[in-house]
């Protein structure tokens, strides 16, 4: 009984498979590096600005790793579960800049609210969820910008009163 392929053809197929496996390993390493750098960048922003999960991590997971909105949000929740700012929290605590009562009460509310929010978000189409997320980010940006403008205006008024 003769085989339909020769030994040399089998060697070529094996060599190509080994080459594809090597390419796959390189791609896997590149993705691993991208994910590590993403985590590093989010960690720096978390410590610097007190932001991370929703504002930076979810859009990055959607745009850089091409995750679906639901998958990005779920992955963000998983990522933030263990390290949620522990490093930054320790330094803020060391400098006396943490209100533990407010933190505990808010954490309890977030636990209950997170569960309720997941019940609302999961049945929602990904496109709708992405639009809602974008609207939230725009509203947050507008409110923060407005507050900084009002604070600057109040600072100018205070300077005039103090320096008459």
What's the confidence (pLDDT) of residue 60?
Answer: 86
What's the confidence (pLDDT) of residue 95?
Answer: 92
- Do residues 55 and 137 lie in contact, with contact meaning Cβ atoms separated by under 8 Å? yes
Neighbours of 74 (CB within 10 A): 17
Helices and strands: H and E segment counts in the chain: 6, 0
Q: Residue 36: CA atoms inside 13 Å, Cβ hemisphere, count?
A: 6
What's the confidence (pLDDT) of residue 7?
Answer: 63
Q: Residue 128: CA atoms inside 13 Å, Cβ hemisphere, count?
A: 6
| Pair of tokens at residue 55 | 């504002």
Q: Per-residue confidence of the chain (164 residues) as pLDDT tens digits?
A: 555 656 666 666 666 666 777 788 888 899 889 988 888 888 787 777 777 667 888 888 888 888 888 898 888 888 877 666 677 788 888 999 888 898 888 778 878 888 898 899 999 999 999 999 889 889 988 998 898 888 888 888 877 777 76
Task: Measure the CA–CA gap between 62 and 76, rounded to whole angstroms.
Answer: 11
What's the confidence (pLDDT) of residue 139?
Answer: 92
**Domain ranges for the chain:** 7-125, 126-164
Task: Measure the CA–CA gap between 4 and 121, rounded to whole angstroms.
Answer: 55
What's the confidence (pLDDT) of residue 151?
Answer: 87
| Pair of tokens at residue 129 | 């969820």
**Best CA proximity match to 114, nearest among 60, 57, 53:** 53
What's the confidence (pLDDT) of residue 91?
Answer: 85
- Do residues 67 and 75 lie in contact, with contact meaning Cβ atoms separated by under 8 Å? yes
Task: Measure the CA–CA gap between 89 and 39, rounded to whole angstroms.
Answer: 17
What's the confidence (pLDDT) of residue 142?
Answer: 94
């Amino acid at each position: 009984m003769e085989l339909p392929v020769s030994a040399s053809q089998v060697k070529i197929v094996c060599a190509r498979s080994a080459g594809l496996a090597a390419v796959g390993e390189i791609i896997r390493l590149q993705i691993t590096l991208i994910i590590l750098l993403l985590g590093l960048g989010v960690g720096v922003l978390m410590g610097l600005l007190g932001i991370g999960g929703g504002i930076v991590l979810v859009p990055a997971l959607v745009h850089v790793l091409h995750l679906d909105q639901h998958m990005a949000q779920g992955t963000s929740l998983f990522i933030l579960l263990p390290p949620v700012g522990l490093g930054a929290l320790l330094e803020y605590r060391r400098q006396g800049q943490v209100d533990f009562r407010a933190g505990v009460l808010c954490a309890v509310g977030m636990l209950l609210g997170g569960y309720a929010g997941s019940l609302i978000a999961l049945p929602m189409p990904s496109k709708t969820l992405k639009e809602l997320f974008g609207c939230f980010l725009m509203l947050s940006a507008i409110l923060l910008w407005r507050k900084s403008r009002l604070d600057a205006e109040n600072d100018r008024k205070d300077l005039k009163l103090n320096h008459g």
